[in-house]
Structure 1
Amino acid sequence: MSNTTGTESRRGRRSLGSAGLGQALRAAIPPVLVVLLLLVLAVPAALLVAPGFVAPGATVAAAPVPAWQQLPATVSAPQVLAPLQQSAPVPTPSAVAAQVDPLLATDGGGTFTGMVQDASTGQVLFDRGGSEGRVPASNLKLLTSAAALRTLGPDHRFATKVLRGPAPGQVVLVGGGDVLLGAGESRPEQTLGHAGLATLAAQAVDALRAAGTTGEITVLLDDSLFTGPALNPAWLAGDVEAGEIAPLYPLALNSARFDPAVTTGPRPQDAAMAAAGEFAARLRAAGAGAGLTVAAGVERAPGTATAAGAAVQAQPVVLAEVESATVAEQVDLMLQVSDNYLAETMGRMAALATGRSGSNDGATAAVVAEAGAAGVATDTIKLADVCGLALGNQVSARQFTDVVRAMTTGADARLRGALDGFPVGGLSGTLDTRYGDAGTAGGAGLVRAKTGTLNTVLALSGYVVDADGRLLVFSFIGNGLTPGAAGNKQALDRAATVLAGCGCR
């Protein structure tokens, strides 16, 4: 009974807060104070609605902007990772071996070799057959990257030119090593498609019109910068048919792909002629309003190109020119997506830069020589190509850790241009879908490494900062592996992950 009475009593008091409250106030407050209260409330309300009644053109003084809404006078300093400290402790080899060795177990047949070094001192922290020559798969692109950066320089660009032809009415499209051409307008913010054939064609039309050229134009192609077989006999026919690689030429659209968005499947077998045909079409469209027509079909120009890519005349007249993304940007793309065609092109351009022929033999010789110049012992390196697709390549884990050391801490600053291209575990490139399970999640965002994959080969070479702040470089290579066995990639990733979490002392 008391509980019920109490509840009802509380309900009655709450009802006073609506209609009863107004009656109580009128009874308790004198009329004059009520009027004053209404005036106080009315003034701010009037300020809110007044702008709607101001005549057009009239101005109303703006209220001062509160300090918290104003732009800051200074910008806060960016928050970045602290630089590495040389005082960070170096892991002990026995502790590293205890962590890594059990994880490098194959799933089925084959064997893993591996090497871990302290990047600063070169001290070997783990060595399982690290000096043994192995088929490296696409880890070989690390050596090719070093060669390109050393010989060409990180800021170098490849030029694709249009020259006045040897006969009236002819123009010559000259390949200068850019295989990342786009069909449309140049896109300066991109690496693939940085130089566009539509832009090149528009420039050529402007130059022809300025020279008073009219009538029909014939397009010739000069792709003689590269020599030797366009298709390496060391590549398996099945890999060529699957589109892993294609015949090499010094100009191509989309790294010799039909569609830049489709990076698998068959490729054009004459990428230079495909690019020349696209250029002729763009020239035809651009010249339609300038009194120019373009003959159907493209022919290869007679003569031999010089290393600079100008050949059909003693003093060729350049009508138009577009430049590629920088070598450093192309190296980044090559490492991120493991582009075989781009790697082979980089090898040939490095060969030309060192006075060698633009052939496979020139490319392999240049890559080995530049690895040696970067501090890598090269006496046991054997190369059949420079992209890693050939099974005849032999490179050791030690040679890879040495080149990664040169890139991260070596004296040649040009090699730093490769570091952005290393895929990041769980985030980018060929590692974007890895490092997501319980055994490898600790390496996500921390492991930075180049992958390598062939039917019976897996490799992973890169660098990581351990839990104590020490920069470590590593290389793990599996040969003779059971094709498709899932545990082998996991073994590589887990080994790299324990390095990232290592307080190995």
Structure 2
Amino acid sequence: MGIKNGDARTGLSTAWGRLKWPLLLAAVLLCALAVVVAGMVPGVLAPKPSPSIPSWQQSPSALAGSSAVQPLDANAPMPVQADVTKLLEETLKPSGSGSITGVVLDAATGKVLFDRDAAANRIPASNMKLLTAVAALKALGPETRFTTRVLGTDDPHTVVLAGGGDVLLGGGASDPSAVLGHAGLATLAADTAASLKNAGIKGPVTVQVDDSLFSGAPLNPAWSLGDVAAGETAPLYSLALNSGRYSPTTTTGPRPQDSAVTTAQAFAEQLAAAGVEVGSGVERGKGLPAKLLASAESATVSEQVDHMLQTSDNFLAEALGRLTAAASGRKATYDGATAAVRERLGELGIASDSMELADVSGLALENQVSARQFAEVVRAITSGPDLSLRAALDGFPVAGLTGTLDDRYVDPSTAQGAGLVRAKTGTLNTVIALSGYVVDADGRLLVFSFIGNGLEPGAAGNKVAMDRSASVLAACGCRG
């Protein structure tokens, strides 16, 4: 049945009548909603007003002049000795028994600004590492690396892990960005496995270790056996994992007593993980230099020196001392290390005849060095003519921020030195030392050394006294 035109118009009109009121209602609702949204969210439907942005949040219209770290001003006024002395006499006082010697020097000229028995020999604790640092940098060079090798022997089924002085080996893959673990046993084992495979060597492989680079007694007789048992250090060998620790995250407690064998055992495990059948046990032996299977290089001497100073690592300090001895044409023994350190200090013009050196890490109570000698070493690092020593600058812990000073300079009387003082710490039972450098309020670079001996064990006031003394130097505008 067809539909007439009139019927069609009537049908459409009726349909529109049914729809127009819902549509009109929807339109009204949409308009109302738009008004609400516009009121709630400015800028959605309305013009966006100009925001009021603080000037410090706005993009600069031009580059400003630098006001950050500037070169030292050679014409900065030098502090007056009497004023510096007056300040330090008020702060540099032991808490209880004992005494504190000290010295402050102007870095540029060497002028003495404070002197309290500065020439007197004292037990320096870990400030000894400053002497080791400059000797190692001078003898070895900042960019030198130590190589750990895997060598073949006359027996194709025997490989030798040969220590080259790297005691910061890691157990995993080599990490080029790290100091501890820069060379890793997993990478060394994978490279060794590839060499064995290429040579067609199958069947059980015996792992030996060659630690002959260092000679003499592994344990220094000047050390307290109690300190060794507590893990302050350990018998020294020419290769070690984690600076003579079981784990890179473990910094206290007992250590492996034969780091060479422990490292070789860990290497054997990594070799097995790389698909090599490995025999049981590890032996000492020597490989043939011409049969190099794999090798891995350590972090640089500069990086290791900085790590040693930041963390006050006794084991690493002694290793660097032995390597300094070898580079100086001496036997790589404890005595060779102390002799080499003394020799290198002499080359820098630092008088060392009065020093008594029993080790190069500072654990030995027989060490005797003066505050003046430490200040001269710091001055050689900051301002001396041998530019290779500048590599040690980053190793000084920053007050309240890094290394062994990260938890100090929080006392209100010392807070003004936080972030400004950079110094090497030293702590034994009755000994506290602090040697470093600071730029004073007038822009003058000062070096200092404070050494306390015979102190009351555990008296917190002694560290505060030294920290406060370094802090007043940072705040000093001592021009009279």
TM-score, length-scaled by structure 1: 0.82
> In 2 relative to 1, CA 108–412 (structure 1 residues): closer, same or farther, beyond 3 Å?
same
Q: Distance in 1 between matches of 2:124 and 2:107?
A: 21
Residues 77-120 of structure 1 deviation map (CA, whole Å, 9 limit, x = unaligned): 97641100110000011010000112111111110000000000
How do residues 469-480 of structure 1 correspond to structure 2 at under 5 angstroms?
469-480=443-454
Q: CA deviation at 1:211?
A: 1.4
Q: Distance in 2 between matches of 1:501 and 1:397?
A: 22
Q: Distance in 2 between matches of 1:107 and 1:133?
A: 21
Q: CA deviation at 1:240?
A: 0.4
> What is the identity, as a one-letter code, of the residue corresponding to 1:344?
E
Question: Are residues 1:492 and 2:466 paired?
Answer: yes
Q: Give the corresponding residue for 1:367.
A: 341
Q: Give the corresponding residue for 1:447.
A: 421
Question: Are residues 1:163 and 2:151 paired?
Answer: yes
Q: Distance in 2 between matches of 1:166 and 1:445?
A: 58
Question: Are residues 1:249 and 2:237 paired?
Answer: yes
Q: Give the corresponding residue for 2:114.
A: 126
Question: Are residues 1:299 and 2:287 paired?
Answer: no
Secondary structure, counterpart of 1:493 in structure 2: helix
Equivalent residue in structure 2 for 1:178, among 166, 185, 204: 166
Q: Give the corresponding residue for 1:82.
A: 70
Q: Distance in 2 between matches of 1:105 and 1:463?
A: 20
Q: Give the corresponding residue for 1:196.
A: 184
Q: Distance in 2 between matches of 1:126 and 1:436?
A: 25
Q: Distance in 1 between matches of 2:474 and 2:66?
A: 25
> What is the identity, as a one-letter code, of the residue corresponding to 1:206?
A
Q: CA deviation at 1:312?
A: 3.8
Q: Distance in 2 between matches of 1:77 and 1:201?
A: 53
CA contact (8 A) 1:196 1:322 kept: yes
CA contact (8 A) 1:185 1:197 kept: yes
Farther off after superposition, 448-457 or 159-168: 159-168
Equivalent residue in structure 1 for 2:271, among 263, 283, 288: 283
Q: Distance in 2 between matches of 1:153 and 1:116?
A: 29
Q: Distance in 2 between matches of 1:107 and 1:387?
A: 26
Q: Give the corresponding residue for 2:410.
A: 436
Q: Give the corresponding residue for 1:343.
A: 317
Residues 56-86 of structure 1 deviation map (CA, whole Å, 9 limit, x = unaligned): xxxxxxxxxxxxxxx99x9999764110011
How do residues 204-353 of structure 1 correspond to structure 2 at under 5 angstroms?
204-286=192-274, 288=275, 292-301=276-285, 312-313=287-288, 315-353=289-327
Q: Give the corresponding residue for 1:19.
A: none
Q: Distance in 2 between matches of 1:171 and 1:92?
A: 65
TM-score, length-scaled by structure 2: 0.86
Q: Give the corresponding residue for 1:106.
A: 94
> What is the identity, as a one-letter code, of the residue corresponding to 1:268?
P
Q: CA deviation at 1:259?
A: 1.2
Q: Distance in 1 between matches of 2:141 and 2:178?
A: 19
CA contact (8 A) 2:123 2:365 kept: yes
Residues 40-70 of structure 1 deviation map (CA, whole Å, 9 limit, x = unaligned): xxxx99xxxxxxxxxxxxxxxxxxxxxxxxx
Q: Give the corresponding residue for 1:57.
A: none
> What is the identity, as a one-letter code, of the residue corresponding to 2:379?
R
Secondary structure, counterpart of 1:122 in structure 2: coil
Q: Give the corresponding residue for 2:440.
A: 466
CA contact (8 A) 2:162 2:210 kept: yes
Q: Distance in 2 between matches of 1:274 and 1:78?
A: 53
Q: Give the corresponding residue for 1:427.
A: 401
CA contact (8 A) 2:152 2:287 kept: no
Equivalent residue in structure 2 for 1:402, among 349, 373, 376: 376
Show structure 1 runs of 4+ deviating over 2 A. 74-80
Question: Are residues 1:501 and 2:470 paired?
Answer: no
> What is the identity, as a one-letter code, of the residue corresponding to 1:388?
G
CA contact (8 A) 1:96 1:504 kept: yes
Q: Distance in 2 between matches of 1:226 and 1:76?
A: 56
Q: Distance in 2 between matches of 1:146 and 1:321?
A: 28
Q: CA deviation at 1:168?
A: 2.4
Q: CA deviation at 1:272?
A: 0.8
Residues 334-382 of structure 1 deviation map (CA, whole Å, 9 limit, x = unaligned): 0001000000000000000111111001100011111111221111111
Residues 147-196 of structure 1 deviation map (CA, whole Å, 9 limit, x = unaligned): 11001111100100000023221111000000000000001111000100
Q: Distance in 2 between matches of 1:321 and 1:332?
A: 24
Q: CA deviation at 1:234?
A: 0.3
Q: Distance in 2 between matches of 1:75 and 1:217?
A: 65
How do residues 138-149 of structure 1 correspond to structure 2 at under 5 angstroms?
138-149=126-137
Equivalent residue in structure 2 for 1:411, among 362, 375, 385: 385
Residues 258-295 of structure 1 deviation map (CA, whole Å, 9 limit, x = unaligned): 11111001001011110000000001110x2xxx4110
| Total equivalences in the alignment | 424
CA contact (8 A) 1:93 1:126 kept: yes
Secondary structure, counterpart of 1:437 in structure 2: coil
Residues 228-282 of structure 1 deviation map (CA, whole Å, 9 limit, x = unaligned): 1100010001100100010000100000111111100100101111000000000
CA contact (8 A) 2:135 2:340 kept: yes
CA contact (8 A) 1:248 1:345 kept: yes
Q: Distance in 2 between matches of 1:78 and 1:182?
A: 42
> What is the identity, as a one-letter code, of the residue corresponding to 1:431?
L
Q: Distance in 1 between matches of 2:82 and 2:317?
A: 38
Q: What's the RMSD between the two structures over aligned residues?
A: 1.8
Residues 393-439 of structure 1 deviation map (CA, whole Å, 9 limit, x = unaligned): 00000000101000001110110010000000000000001111110
Q: Give the corresponding residue for 2:359.
A: 385
CA contact (8 A) 2:310 2:403 kept: yes
Q: Distance in 2 between matches of 1:497 and 1:442?
A: 6
CA contact (8 A) 1:226 1:250 kept: yes
